[in-house]
Amino acid sequence: MSNLKQEEVLEDYDLNPKQKFKIAGIEGPIFLAIVAVLLVGVYMEILPMNFASGLIVSMVLGILLMWIGDQIPVFNTFGGGPILCILIPALFLFWGWLPESVGTLTDTFYNEIGFSDFAVTGIIVGSILSMDRKMLMKVGARFFVPLLGAVISALLIGGLVGHLVGFGFSRTIFFVVGPIMGGGMAAGAVPMAEIFSSTTGESSGAVLAQIAPAVMVGNMVCILAAGALNGLGKRKNRLKNFSGDGQILRLKEGEEELNLKSDNSAFPFTINSLIIGIIVATTIFVFGKIVAELIPTFHSYVWIILGAAALKIFNLLPGYIEKAAEDWYELITKAWVPAILVAISAGMIDFSSVMDILTNPSYISLTVMTVIIAVLAAGFFGLLVGFYFVESSISAGLGMADMGGSGDVAVLSAAERMGLMPFLQISSRIGGAMMLIILSILAPFLM
């Protein structure tokens, strides 16, 4: 298939057509009929708990919400589509407008069946292998400066503000800042609850109930912050070095320009390239699981990142395989990101827990403040090492503060910078593991 033909195919399946009323490349009335059939099945509660049901519910609702959000003026500039995908399903379940079976179905589909591993691994591997090798090597070494800057700033400033407002220095660190900056729920909040439980003697379940709301609300704030940064980055009168439009590294005068993606235009898109992409991405997923079993210090996603990065840095794969991983990544981001966001919303976000913490002004204020500190600190320290403010804020700040892998997808969708996924995964996984170590050291002294 020629490059021109590939572009035509991608255009046909554009989620945001401007000239014709089409949704996902389908005539509007036909797509709405598909939605109607799907909703009948949902409300009759006859859909089986399997991959097919989970995918079609998440995918169709996600594409519809993405399309609606992207048609709303102003709101679409601040991540309208992704924000609707992450908020509306959870809100409708909370109100009872959708049956509880939808939440069970999407949770089973995303977590138990493993769609999250399948899709997120494809995004990680594809985004790394499609990067320019020189860019990956040049950016990686300095990335930990804004990452550490965001963590230390959030802990110190957040704890101090918590003390001043009467919430408590230690309580803010362990029950607000730590959970938010801990790499998500499964890899962050759950082991964090075990650490705190061993120190306080309280059950890990009771501890988890106290820290989980901060993770969920912090994730929502991250998505809104990502949309806001994206909108500010598009302003014509923006400050110098503020936004790189997806490019994280600033170039000095006379410095050779580096592309974020490799030039694999010599390898056209084919169905076979998708097959190769699936095989390569899932093989690296298995590699990550094997190493995590042998060296359980880090989450398997850390080893997936390191494995893909090693393949790229040492130039171990031929160009056509890298292009195949990129094609698979492009398909996931185009067709399945809306499904991922809906599955996260309906299956993982508990609006009742969110409403409970809204009754505590100090808690919610400290949650929002933690994300803001992370954003500003990561952006500032990123400027010091030659990054653009927006890209550094998103990668090192929001990457630490969101809900891990699923949060990374939601944040990058709202920010329209999916190519930054490798850096957010470093933040969520390696940065999250680093936060667990810091809190495990502090707990015996401050809890």
Judged against a pLDDT cut of 50, whether residue 294 lies above it is answered with: yes
Nearest to 57 by CA among 80, 86, 37, 28: 37
Range from 117-126, 314-323, 424-433 that averages highest in pLDDT:
314-323
Residue pLDDT, tens place only, 282-293: 999 999 999 989
CB 175 within 8 A of CB 214: yes
Residue 321: band (very low, low, confident or very high) from pLDDT cuts 50, 70, 90: very high
Q: What is the pLDDT of residues 394-404, one digit of tens each?
A: 999 999 998 87
Higher pLDDT pick, 366 / 426: 366
Domain with 145, as residue range(s), is: 114-447
Q: Is 106 among the domain residues?
A: no
- Is 258 part of a structural domain of the chain? yes
Tens digit of each residue's pLDDT (9 = 90 or more) over 113-162: 888 888 888 888 888 888 777 766 777 678 889 999 999 999 999 999 99
Residue at 163 is within a domain? yes
pLDDT tens digits for 201-235? 777 667 777 787 888 888 889 988 998 999 898 88
Q: Which of 53-62, 269-278, 353-362 has the lowest mean pLDDT?
A: 353-362
The answer as to whether 437 is a domain residue is yes
Q: State percent of the chain over pLDDT 70.
A: 87
The mean of the pLDDT values for the chain is 83
Is there a domain that residue 23 lies in?
no
**Residue 238: inside a domain, yes or no?**
yes
pLDDT at 8 (0 to 100): 40
pLDDT band at 257 (very low <50, low <70, confident <90, very high): low
Residue 42 lies in a domain: no
State which of 17-21, 296-300, 385-389 shows the largest mean pLDDT. 385-389
Q: What's the rounded mean pLDDT across residues 341-357?
A: 77
pLDDT the model gives residue 144: 87
Using pLDDT thresholds of 50, 70 and 90, give the confidence band for residue 267: confident
30-76 pLDDT tens trace: 999 999 999 999 999 999 999 999 999 999 999 999 899 888 887 77
* Rounded Cα–Cα distance for residues 331 and 125 (Å): 13
The pLDDT of residue 14 is 47
Predicted local confidence at residue 6, as pLDDT: 41
What's the pLDDT score for residue 21?
Answer: 81
Domains identified in the chain, total number: 1
Q: What is the pTM of this model?
A: 0.70
The full 3-state SS of the chain, as one line of letters, equals CCHHHHHHHHHHCCCCCCCCCEECCEEHHHHHHHHHHHHHHHHHCCCCCCHHHHHHHHHHHHHHHHHHHHHCCCHHHHCHHHHHHHHHHHHHHHHCCCCHHHHHHHHHHHHHCCHHHHHHHHHHHHHHHCECHHHHHHHHCCCHHHHHHHHHHHHHHHHHHHHHCCCCHHHHHHHHHHHHCCCCHHHHHHHHHHHHHHHHCCCHHHHHHHHHHHHHHHHHHHHHHHHHHHHHHCCCCCCCCCCCCCCCECCCCCCCCCCCECCCCCCCCCHHHHHHHHHHHHHHHHHHHHHHHHCCCCCHHHHHHHHHHHHHHCCCCCHHHHHHHHHHHHHHHHHHHHHHHHHHHHHHCCHHHHHHHCCCHHHHHHHHHHHHHHHHHHHHHHHHCCECHHHHHHHHHHHHHCCHHHHHHHHHHHHCCHHHHHHHHHHHHHHHHHHHHHHHHHHHHHC
Res 58: pLDDT: 94
Q: Is residue 87 part of a domain?
A: no
